[in-house]
Amino acid sequence: MVIDVITIFPAMVEAALAEGVIGRARERGLVEIRVRDLREYTDDRHRSVDDVPYGGGPGMVMKPEPLFRAVEAITAEGGRPPAVVLMTPQGRRFTHAEAGRLSRLDHLVMICGRYEGVDERVAEALVTDEISIGDYVLSGGELPALVVIDATVRLVPGVVGDAASVAADSFVDGWLDYPHYTRPAVFRGMAVPEVLVSGHHGEIERWRRAERERRTRARRPDLLSGGDDGLDTASRASRAGAAKEKRDHEGD
Ligand code: ADE
């Protein structure tokens, strides 16, 4: 998988992508991430990337020319036309299911917006997807792009060593995660739940399933409503299956 990130703050993006799981995936060649400085695609003396809005109003708007030039240069480097994602609070809400979809792409180009936004012709003629990471406004698309890259790249096969760990993550099947404990068994008077030290695998499995459901009901009832939960069909089916299994079990 190849990801190009277009930004006016390449050092900020590069720093975050050099560390941890993503940094290691890059070193191992599982993903190639190229951070592009938008100013390299300007043609004026001041290397300007923004201008005043038509119609007046506050703030500045990102100019179309450097963004078109950048995406066209990347596309001309070869291969099939990439997916071009614009990070914006106006976009579709990012979910784990969306990360799964992106992780199966060969080539992804991400545009980090700044200022009041980008010229609408960029969204209309260049961009294939507009993505928001949540209902709040950040000062630019760099942090959102890093969030999307992190969630996406860890789903690329081989990136996370323990595939079971990825499969058990919150949201994978529509439930939050169960609580985790490690040694010591008693810490400052707080004991690890008895069942976890029992060695009884069936009981542990049942306890974890019950905890996931209890947490999801208490903290994220919206995930249970069956509405726009961001799940793909397979995850929704998996959750329905788990609920049925539980009902059957309780019926024993
Ligand atoms: N840029 C500014 N805020 C954003 C958000 N919430 N999601 C994506 N891009 C953004």
- Provide residues with CB under 6 Å of ligand 1: 87-89, 113, 132-134, 136-138, 141, 144
- The single-letter code of the amino acid at 137 is V
Query: DSSP per residue over the chain, as a string?
Result: -EEEEEES-HHHHHHHHTSHHHHHHHHTTS-EEEEEEGGGG--STT---EEPPTT--SS-EE-HHHHHHHHHHHHHTSSSPPEEEEEEEEEEEP-HHHHHHHHT-SEEEEEE-BTT-B-HHHHHHT-SEEEESSSS--SBSHHHHHHHHHHHHTTSTTSSS-HHHHHTSTTSSSSPPPP---S-SEETTEEPPGGGGS--HHHHHHHHHHHHHHHHHHH-GGGGTTSS----HHHHHHHHHHHHHHHHHHT-
Question: Region 102-119: what's the mean pLDDT?
Answer: 95
Q: What is the pTM of this model?
A: 0.89
pLDDT score at 252: 44
Which domains, from first to last, does the chain contain?
2-153 (3.40.1280.10), 169-250 (1.10.1270.20)
Span from the CA of 48 to the centroid of ligand 1 (angstroms): 22
Span from the CA of 57 to the centroid of ligand 1 (angstroms): 20
Span from the CA of 229 to the centroid of ligand 1 (angstroms): 20
- Cα gap 71→130, rounded to integer Å: 15
Span from the CA of 62 to the centroid of ligand 1 (angstroms): 15
Atom of ligand 1 nearest to the CA of 87: 9
Atom of ligand 1 nearest to the CA of 134: 6
Number of Cβ within a 10 Å radius of residue 83: 16
Q: Catalytic positions, please?
A: 89, 116, 154, 169
Model confidence pLDDT, tens digit, residues 59-91:
999 999 999 999 999 999 988 899 999 999 999
Question: Region 181-191: what's the mean pLDDT?
Answer: 98
Q: Whose CA is nearest to atom 4 of ligand 1?
A: 89
* Cα 55 versus chain centre, distance: 35
Residues 6+ apart with CB under 8 A from 249: 206
Q: Whose CA is nearest to atom 9 of ligand 1?
A: 88
Model confidence pLDDT, tens digit, residues 7-33:
999 999 999 999 999 999 999 999 999
